[in-house]
Amino acid sequence: MVLFALLASLPMLRREETPGIGMEELLSSAEAYLSAKKAGLFKALSLSAEETSAFPAKSLAAKYVKWEGSLRNAIARQRAARLGLDPAAYLRDFSYDTEADRFVRDAFAAENPLEREKLLDAGRWMKLEELEFGHRFDFDVLCAYKLKLEILLKWKARSAEHAAENLDLAAAEVRKEKKAV
């Protein structure tokens, strides 16, 4: 029940909208409501799908990490197939998931890499919403919130205002390489 106050105070997250909170602010707020052990787990949780046995097997975080591993395996298989490589060296020790495989196949049907990444993140968001179902104001909902926030912040960092800056940096690198030759 303690998490009720925290979760009720957090701004709503909507796909493809700029979040009203930053990661540091979320972590700081959560730290005030969580035990030291849970705060550490929460801080370590990320979309990177790092295996963490510290989360209970039936928790949202553990289920998501397992699914994300399946998604990344499917991506590795798609990329290896396109390059004519054996995917075995790139696979993680996670189980296969048909839903993750379908998201990847659909995403890789898009020619534009940016669209592909958007489709993969849409799949991630949908999986988090599915895992959240039935939970109310508990640690699992807070974990889903953090992962969704990570998705939104990733796209915020890729905003149009940074695009020109990134293009200038890439062009400068090309010019530097030409001068070196």
Specify the pTM.
Answer: 0.84
Q: Give the Cα separation of 90 and 73 in Å (integer).
A: 8
pLDDT confidence of residue 38: 92
Instruction: Report which secondary-structure segment, H or E, holds 62.
Output: helix 60-83
Structure tokens at 88: 């075995």
Tokens 């993750």 correspond to what residue? 100
Q: Residue 172 pLDDT more than 80?
A: no
Q: Residue 174 pLDDT more than 70?
A: yes
Tokens 């959240």 correspond to what residue? 132
Structural domain for 120, as ranges? 2-180
Q: What is the per-residue pLDDT across 49-96, written as a single tens digit (0 to 9) for each?
A: 776 668 888 999 999 999 999 999 999 999 999 999 999 988 987 678
Q: What is the per-residue pLDDT across 112-164, written as a single tens digit (0 to 9) for each?
A: 999 999 999 999 999 999 999 988 889 999 999 999 999 999 998 876 666 66
Q: Give the Cα separation of 78 and 104 in Å (integer).
A: 8
Residue 98, burial from CB neighbour count under 10 angstroms (0-12, 13-18, 19+) = exposed
How much of the chain exceeds pLDDT 70, in percent?
88
Total domains in the fold of the chain: 1
pLDDT confidence of residue 179: 67
